[in-house]
A = this chain, B = another copy of it.
Amino acid sequence: MRPLVTLTTDFGLQDAYVAAMKGVMLSIEPTLRLVDITHLVAPQDVMEAAFLLSQAVPHFPAGTVHLSVVDPGVGTARRPLAARLGDQLFVGPDNGVLALLLEDEDPDALVVLDQPTYWRIPTPSATFHGRDIFGPVAAHLASGRRLDEVGTPTDTYQQLHWALPLADDEGIQGWVVHIDRYGNCITNIPRTLLERDPRSRQAKYYVGAVILDRLSHTYADVPSGEPLALIGSSHHLEVSVNEGHAATLLSIHKGSPVNLVYGDD
A256 to chain B, nearest CB (A): 17
Contact B35 A22 (CB under 8 A): yes
Q: What's the Cα separation between A232 and B16 when bound, in Å? A: 13
Of the four ranges (under 10, 10 to 19, 20 to 34, 35 or more), the interface on chain A belongs to 35 or more
A36 to chain B, nearest CB (A): 7
Contact B26 A56 (CB under 8 A): no
Which of B13, B43, B57, B61 is the one whose CB lies under 8 Å from A40?
A: B13
Q: How often does this chain occur in the complex, in copies?
A: 3
A191 in the interface, Cβ–Cβ < 8 Å? Answer: no
| Nearest opposing residue in chain B for A51, CB measure | B16
Contact B19 A35 (CB under 8 A): yes
Contact B13 A53 (CB under 8 A): no
A160 in the interface, Cβ–Cβ < 8 Å? Answer: no
A148 to chain B, nearest CB (A): 26
Q: What's the Cα separation between A29 and B182 when bound, in Å? A: 29
Which of B16, B24, B37 is the one whose CB lies under 8 Å from A53?
A: B16
| Nearest opposing residue in chain B for A131, CB measure | B59
Contact A12 B180 (CB under 8 A): yes
Can you show 22 pairs from A to B with CB atoms below 8 A apart?
A2-B31, A4-B26, A12-B181, A13-B13, A13-B40, A14-B181, A16-B52, A17-B55, A17-B180, A19-B35, A19-B36, A19-B38, A19-B56, A19-B59, A23-B35, A26-B61, A27-B60, A30-B61, A75-B218, A126-B219, A127-B233, A131-B233
